[in-house]
């Protein structure tokens, strides 16, 4: 049986820099919200498990990034800095007069952490869920990266198709053994769209699959992180497969040194998708932090 939401979100659509974005909201619509930012190929909706696990009904807004979920597609390759610009305008709309409390997972955590360094005055507190960036690259990789990019542009990208939501859920569980049956069905439904022939595919623009021809600059990311002055909490999955790729820089001690004011905690039984794997434990970790961050007398 599919997971049933305990706190049903409100849905709306807004324009950010010429692109329509879907926004989900929970809690008091008149209160200043915490902003949740999802990861690559995810959607705002799958924060639902964590939101339902919070004991307090915090005001929350979460958008689908451009080209993901219910937001508008570009039908051409994407440029990573657009996410920072979209977030900048989103905060101007949602929280115009004070610093924001940002909660981001994976790519969303990386965008939030970069933004917190680029615009430190706009971020009041940062909760980063496995958003530690990519491994370093070297200039020697440039020719092969451009070759791969040119080859990928020759063919229109596609995502896999699935006969049913149940089939897609089974694939998700094979990839992530920690995902329960009911949550797998919920995620599969939120991550998919039905095609005219009755099959299902991922609800995201396939052009996200085109590799970025510009190499990731981890030194530049480190420079941004050092500029972040907001108190931060980095939550890691103890069984995360992604952090291993960072090598020595993926240790708790190394990650903590990248920021001025960062606490690092680990959810031992979770992988990279810790908001899917262990939402109850994650909620217990983040709720005291959220309570302090949203209490004006505590800052």
- The DSSP bridge pattern shows strands 232-237 and 60-63 to be unpaired
Band of residue 295 on the pLDDT scale cut at 50, 70, 90? low
Lowest mean pLDDT among 61-75, 192-206, 279-293: 279-293
Tell me the angle at which helices 107-118 and 218-227 cross, rounded to the nearest 10 degrees: 60
The 10s digit of each residue's pLDDT in 87-131 is: 999 999 999 989 999 999 999 999 999 999 999 999 999 999 999
The stretch 1-23 carries a mean pLDDT of 97
Percentage, residues of the chain above pLDDT 70: 98
pTM across the whole model: 0.96
The pair phi, psi for residue 271, each rounded to 5°, is: -95, -155
Centroid of chain to Cα 60? 15
Average of per-residue pLDDT across 147-172? 97
- CATH architecture assignment, domain 10-136+217-298: 3-Layer(aba) Sandwich (3.40)
Helix or strand (DSSP H, E) at 24: strand 19-26
Nearest Cα to 205, choosing from 77, 81, 85? 77
Q: Residue 281: enclosing H or E segment and its boundaries?
A: helix 279-293
The DSSP 8-state label assigned to residue 205 in this structure reads: -
């Amino acid at each position: 049986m599919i997971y049933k939401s305990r706190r049903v979100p409100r849905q709306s659509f807004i324009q950010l820099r010429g692109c329509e974005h879907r926004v989900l909201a929970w809690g008091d619509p008149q209160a200043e919200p915490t902003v949740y930012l999802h990861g690559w190929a995810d959607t705002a909706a799958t924060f639902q498990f964590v939101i339902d696990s919070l004991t307090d009904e915090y005001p929350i807004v979460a958008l689908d990034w451009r080209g993901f979920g219910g937001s508008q597609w570009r039908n051409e390759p994407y440029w990573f800095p657009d996410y920072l610009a979209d977030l900048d305008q989103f905060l101007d709309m949602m929280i115009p007069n004070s610093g924001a409390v940002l909660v981001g997972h994976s790519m969303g955590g990386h965008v939030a952490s970069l933004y917190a360094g680029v615009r430190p005055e706009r971020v009041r507190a940062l909760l980063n869920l496995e958003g530690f960036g990519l491994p370093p690259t070297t200039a020697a990789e440039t020719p092969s990266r451009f070759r791969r990019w040119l080859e990928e542009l020759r063919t229109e990208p596609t995502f896999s198709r699935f006969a049913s939501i149940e089939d897609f859920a089974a694939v998700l569980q094979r990839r992530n053994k920690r995902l329960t049956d009911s949550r797998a069905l919920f995620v599969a439904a939120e991550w998919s769209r039905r095609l005219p022939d009755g099959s299902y595919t991922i609800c995201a623009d396939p052009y996200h699959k085109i590799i970025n021809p510009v190499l990731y600059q981890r030194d530049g990311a480190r420079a941004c992180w050092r500029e972040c002055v907001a108190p931060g909490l980095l939550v890691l999955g103890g069984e995360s497969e992604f952090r291993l790729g960072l090598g020595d820089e993926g240790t708790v001690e190394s990650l903590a040194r990248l920021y001025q004011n960062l606490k690092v905690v680990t959810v031992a039984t979770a992988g990279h998708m810790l908001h899917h794997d262990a939402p109850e434990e994650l909620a217990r970790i983040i709720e005291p932090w959220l309570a302090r961050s949203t209490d004006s007398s505590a800052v």
